[in-house]
Amino acid sequence: EVSTDDPEMAFCTLASREELNPEEDSVHHCLYQFTCNETLTETNKLLCDVCTQRHCGPKNNISEKKCVYTNAKKQMLISLAPPVLTLHLKRFQQAGFNLQKVNRHIKFPEVIDLAPFCTAKCKNVAQGNTKVLYSLYGVVEHSGTMRSGHYTAYVKMRAMNNHLSDLVLRGQSQASETEPVKGQWFHISDTHVQPVSVCKVLSSQAYLLFYERLL
pLDDT tens by residue, 139-159:
999 988 878 889 999 999 987
Does residue 78 surpass a pLDDT of 90? yes
CA 204, distance to chain mean position in Å, is: 20
Confidence of residue 188 (pLDDT cuts 50, 70, 90): very high
Looking at the chain, which runs of residues are DSSP E strands? 38-40, 46-47, 69-70, 72-74, 84-88, 92-95, 98-101, 111-113, 133-144, 149-158, 183-189, 192-196, 206-213
Element of type H or E holding 55? helix 49-56
Query: Which comes out higher in pLDDT, residue 187 or 160?
Result: 187
- Answer yes or no: is pLDDT of 137 > 50: yes
Using a cut of 0.85, tell me whether the model's pTM lies above it.
no
Whether the per-residue pLDDT at 200 is higher than 90: the answer is: yes
| pLDDT given for residue 177 in this prediction | 60
Q: Is the pLDDT of residue 35 over 60?
A: yes
Residues in the chain: 215
Nearest to 183 by CA among 138, 152, 132: 138
With CA atoms as reference, report the closest residue to 86 among 138, 13, 161, 153: 138
Higher-pLDDT residue of 86, 60: 86
Res. 182 pLDDT band, cuts 50 70 90: confident
Average pLDDT, the chain: 85
What would the mean pLDDT of 75-104 be, rounded to a whole number?
A: 87
Identity of the highest mean pLDDT range in 9-13, 71-75, 179-183, 201-205: 201-205
- Residue 32 Ramachandran class (φ > 0 left, ψ -120 to 50 alpha, else beta): alpha
Q: Which helix (H) or strand (E) holds 201?
A: helix 198-202
Q: Contact at 8 Å (CB) between 176 and 164?
A: no
The residue among 107, 79, 88, 109 whose CA lies nearest residue 14 is 79
Domains in the chain: ranges and CATH: 79-213 (3.90.70.10)
Rounded Cα gap, residues 122 and 213, in angstroms: 15
Nearest 5°: the CA angle 164, 169, 173 is 50
Query: Which pLDDT score is estimated for 77?
Result: 93
pLDDT surpasses 70 at 173: no
Between 167 and 132, the more confident residue is 132
Q: Considering only CA atoms, which of 199, 192, 196 is closest in space to residue 184?
A: 196
Residue type at 212 in one-letter notation: E
Tell me the β-bridge partners of 152.
141
User: At residue 118, does pLDDT exceed 70?
Assistant: yes
CA 175, CA 173: separation in Å to the nearest integer?
7
Query: Quick one: what percent of the chain has pLDDT higher than 90?
Result: 47
